[in-house]
Amino acid sequence: MSTTSSVLGRHDWSARLLKRQYFIYYMFILVLAGFALFLNDTGFLSPSNFMNIIRQTAPITIMAVGLSFALAVGHIDLSIGSVVALSAIVGAILLQYVGMPLAVAGALLTGVLVGLINGLLIERLRVSSLLITLGTMGVITGITRQVSNLESIPVIDPMFRALFGNGEFLGIPGLLWWTIIFALIGYLVMNKLVFGRHLLAVGGSPDAARAMGIRIENVRIKALVVCSLCAAIAGLLYAGRLAGARYTLGEADLLTVIAAVAIGGASLFGGRVSIIGAVIGSWLMGMINNGLILSGFSTDEQMITRGLILITAVAIGAREARNG
Amino acid sequence: MVRNALSQTILEVKGITKRFGGVEALRGVSFKVNKGEVVGLLGDNGAGKSTLVRCISGIHPPDEGDILIADKPVRFNSPMDARNAGVETVFQDLAIVPEFDVVQNLYLNREIRSSNPLLRWIGWLDTKAMTKRSQKSLNRLNSRIPSLSEKIINLSGGQRQAVAIARAVSWGAEVVIMDEPTAALGVEQSAQVNELIKLISSQGVAVVLISHNMQHVMDTCDRAVVLYQGRCSADVAIADVDKNDLVSLITGASGLQLAESA
């Protein structure tokens, strides 16, 4: 009987409402209300501004979905920011020689390759993903700078710019479509498919997953490939929207993406992620950026805010982990 | 006894030897387990119990000797081989994912997929079917688990053990090996697990039970196999011995004569 009552006790509604997975919604509403109050004469609340936020945040959202896959198996991928630049540069350079489909394929292949290398290095060397991806981040950034000669590479192809940039389909901006598609796929894979189930099992209890016959090394490598592939797509979206690629793309995105995913309720230690949380988390980060710009704050202050949000999210997560 | 009516050998271990470097952990261990029988596997620390279990469950293939399932020789190169042959092992860590609910754990890596061919191909989970079947297999065990959608972290130690046992049995295991299932449990929960062991054996499942608790062995087992320094030193019917006999067998004080008398 004592067990039953403790089970019920933990599911008491007040305890439920305070759970970390709901934190993102409170935070979102709070920030929204705050900015709405202080910025009511700047057009912050206008629908076009919100559409702008979602469009500008699309690459971050997609990276956040991708990073959720890595976090699900208990890995972190610090190389995503550098993959954004590499994929954009590769795509932009290829566009000068070949058609769009091949250029896109080349950029995506770059992402897959980086994910594969990350995964194989982590599994073969049995080193933490944090250190391996820190290393590959350096290598990739160096390669990107060298390949691009520190110059911007313009993207002229109108099809590419429409598809990945400012095009529209059925009256909905392309970047919103990308967001919707990736959020939906991410959610379905994580919650409805065998693959997602195995990702979470590997992250939640590698020993149990292995004992049940799951090939955990393969699952982890696949997760890193998905993560890197999402970063490569984010690179294409930047190249499309900005009509060009530059080695600085994605430079500041790593912190934003990690903060978005953490505040969205994912455990940075694996086994628990929320795709919806990650998407809303990325929008929260975008909204904060937008609000801070409209309030006249500088990029420095935006960066400070992102850092503080990450610390807050991690602190809440750690407290919940301790309290069970 | 009713159980003896089933006396058909399901698991037989013949002359198993396992060496680690220069150390012989097992030196020709042989024993049989009949259908629906509960056999206690006893022995002091280092007697070779864990190694033997690892051989039978496919983690370490033995260096010499044979394993027979229903009189057919088998060779297990991985735990999956053993599982597919009907030998399930419930280890002390239970191999369950704490963040997953009961159904998710019962069907981990054996998920039922949607019947729609396309959805099946992408690996769409048929949660309804899994829930339904989980309910059935737990009902069969008179389970006290409050809800199938309960996460494992919210369950008691005994309930977790029940989930692990239910998983083993629901996959059609004919032999379930349990490594110290009650070691971390309180009195009441241990009793529940013991009941569960008796229940599954009454349904024809053979159980090999590793335990240090002589009372539990006396309460649940039909027979006891005692390992001493890597050899099988005794194979006795529980009805013929008392707790003190078992202890002296384990410590090696009176191994051989009882082995002969049995």
Has residue B197 been placed in a domain? yes
Task: Give helix B187-202 / helix B157-170 axis angle, nearest 10°.
Answer: 10
CB nearest A213 (choices: B109, B146, B155): B109
CA separation, residue B185 to residues B45, B190, B197 (Å): 20, 6, 15
Boundaries of domain holding B216: 2-97+173-261
Compute the count of residue pairs across chains A and B with CB atoms less than 8 Å apart.
72
Number of domains in chain B: 1
Q: How many domains does chain A have?
A: 1
For the stretch A136-145, contacts whose Cβ atoms lie closer than 8 Å and that sit 24 or more positions apart, written own/partner, are A136/A79, A136/A82, A137/A78, A137/A79, A137/A81, A137/A82, A138/A82, A140/A79, A140/A82, A140/A83, A140/A85, A140/A86, A140/A114, A141/A82, A141/A85, A141/A247, A143/A86, A144/A82, A144/A85, A144/A86, A144/A89, A144/A247, A145/A247
| Structural domain includes residue B235 | yes
Residues 6 or more apart whose Cβ sits within 8 Å of residue A323: none
CATH number at residue A167: 1.10.3470
| 3-class secondary-structure state, position B69 | strand
- Nearest residue of B to residue A3, measured between CA atoms: B156
Residue A169 has what pLDDT?
Answer: 87
Contacts of A198 in chain B (CB under 8 A): 109
Q: Is A21 on the interface with B (CB under 8 A)?
A: no
- At residue B114, φ and ψ (nearest 5 deg) are -55, 150
Q: What is the C-alpha to C-alpha distance for residues A37 and A264, in angstroms, rounded to an integer?
A: 24
Dist. CA A119–CA A129, nearest whole Å? 8
Q: Give the C-alpha separation, B20 to B27, whole Å.
A: 12
Mean pLDDT per segment of 10 residues, for chain A of length 324 residues? 41 58 80 81 82 92 96 94 95 91 95 96 92 94 91 86 85 90 96 94 90 90 97 95 88 90 83 90 90 84 84 76 60
Inter-chain contact B113–A271, Cβ cutoff 8 Å?
A: no
The residues facing B68 across adjacent strands are B12, B73
Interchain CB contact of B260 with A (< 8 Å): no
**Nearest-neighbour CA in chain A from B122: distance (Å):** 7
Q: Are B122 and A209 inside 8 Å of each other by CB?
A: no
Chain A contact for B45 (CB, 8 A cutoff): no
pLDDT of residue A3: 39
Q: Quick one: closest CA in B to A194, which residue?
A: B123
* Predicted structure pTM score: 0.83
Whether residue A208 and residue B93 make contact (CB cut-off 8 A), yes or no, is yes
Which position has the token pair 């696949």?
A222
Residue B5 has pLDDT above 50, yes or no: no
Cβ atoms of A24 and A275 closer than 8 Å? no
User: A171 CB near a chain B CB, below 8 Å?
Assistant: no
Give pLDDT, residue B254. 66
In a domain? residue A196 = yes
> Does any domain span residue B134?
no
Residue with tokens 């019917």: B237
Nearest C-alpha of chain B: how many angstroms from A208? 4
In-domain check, residue A189: yes
- How would you class A51 by CB atoms within 10 Å of its CB: exposed for 0-12, middle for 13-18, buried for 19 or more? middle
Q: By C-alpha distance, which of B102, B189, B110 is closest to B152?
A: B102
Interchain CB distance below 8 Å, B91 and A205: no
Report the greatest alpha carbon distance in chain B. 65
Q: Using a CB-CB distance cutoff of 8 angstroms, which residues of chain B are in contact with residue A192? A: 124-125
Question: Quick check: is B105 in a domain?
Answer: no
Question: What does the DSSP 8-state code read for residue B4?
Answer: G
Minimum CA–CA partner of B156 in chain A: A3
Alpha-carbon distance of B63 to B22, in angstroms, equals 13
**Interface check B186 vs A, CB under 8 A:** no
Query: Contacts from B186-190 at CB under 8 Å and sequence distance 24+?
Result: B186/B157, B188/B158, B189/B156, B189/B157, B189/B158, B189/B161, B190/B158, B190/B216
Note the pLDDT of residue A149.
87
DSSP state at residue A127: -
Count the helix, strand and coil residues of chain B and give each as a percent rounded to the nearest 5.
Answer: 40, 25, 35
Q: Is the dihedral of CA A246, A139, A225, A276 positive or negative?
A: negative
In-domain check, residue B22:
yes
Q: Do A212 and B95 touch (CB under 8 A)?
A: yes
For the stretch B119-154, pLDDT in tens is: 999 999 999 999 998 888 888 777 777 788 888 988
From the list A7, A194, A207, the residue facing B123 with the nearest CB is: A194
A205 neighbourhood in chain B, CB within 8 Å: 95-99
- Which residue has tokens 């993560």? A227
Q: Among residues 234-253 of chain B, which lie with CB inside 8 Å of chain A?
A: none
Whether residue B241 lies inside any domain: the answer is: yes
Nearest to B13 by CA among B2, B24, B27: B27
Task: Report the alpha-carbon distance of residue A7 to residue A202 in Å, rounded.
Answer: 26
pLDDT at A1: 35
Residue B38: how many other CB atoms lie within 10 Å: 27
Tell whether A272 is within 8 A of chain B (Cβ). Answer: yes
B258 band by pLDDT with thresholds 50, 70 and 90: very low
Cα B200 off chain centre by: 11
Contacts of A197 in chain B (CB under 8 A): 104, 108, 111, 125
User: A66 vs chain B: nearest CA distance in angstroms?
Assistant: 19
A195 contacts on B by Cβ (under 8 Å): 123
Nearest chain B CA: its distance from A93 CA (Å) = 34
Dist. CA B222–CA B233, nearest whole Å: 17
Tell me which of A7, A189, A198, A216 to substitute to probe the interface with B (most B C-beta atoms closer than 10 Å): A7
Distance between alpha carbon A230 and the CA centroid of its chain, in Å?
Answer: 8
Q: Are A179 and A58 in contact (CB under 8 A)?
A: yes
Q: Which of A10, A193, A204 sits opposite B100 (nearest CB)?
A: A204
Range of the domain at A117: 44-319
A184 vs B: CB within 8 A: no
What's the Cα-to-Cα distance from A246 to each of A154, B29, B178, B232, rounded to whole Å? 9, 69, 60, 72
Q: Does A193 touch chain B (CB under 8 A)?
A: yes
Q: Verify whether the Cβ–Cβ distance B97 to A195 is below 8 Å.
A: no
Q: What integer is the mean pLDDT of B241-247?
A: 84
Ramachandran quadrant class, B95 (left: phi over 0; alpha: psi -120 to 50; beta: rest): left
| Burial class (CB within 10 angstroms; exposed 0-12, middle 13-18, buried 19+) of B254 | middle
H/E stretch holding B245 reads: helix B243-250
CATH number where B192 lies? 3.40.50.300
pLDDT at A180: 94
Task: Scan for tokens 């991410």, then name that residue.
Answer: A186
Give every CB contact of residue A304 below 8 A, 6+ residues apart in sequence.
none
Write out chain A residues lying below 8 Å of B113, CB-based.
194
Ramachandran category for residue A43: left, alpha or beta (phi over 0 → left; psi -120 to 50 → alpha): left
Q: Determine contact: B83 vs chain A, CB below 8 A.
A: yes
Strands, E assignment, chain B: 9-20, 23-34, 38-43, 64-69, 72-74, 87-90, 175-179, 206-210, 223-228, 231-237
CA torsion sign for B240, B242, B245, B251 is positive
> Could you tell me if A27 and A263 are in contact, meaning their C-beta atoms sit under 8 angstroms apart?
yes
Using alpha carbons, select from B171, B262, B179 the residue that is nearest to residue B222.
B262
Give CA–CA dist A223/A72, Å, rounded: 8
CB spacing of B95 vs A208 below 8 angstroms:
yes
Inside any domain, residue A22 = no
Average pLDDT over all residues of chain B: 84
Distance of residue B140 Cα from the nearest chain A Cα, in angstroms: 21
Could you tell me if B95 lies within 8 Å of chain A, comparing CB atoms?
yes
User: Helix, strand, or coil here: B32?
Assistant: strand
pLDDT the model gives residue B261: 43
Contact B150 A7 (CB under 8 A): yes
Task: Write down the pLDDT at residue A13.
Answer: 57
Contact yes or no for B108 and A201 at CB 8 A: yes
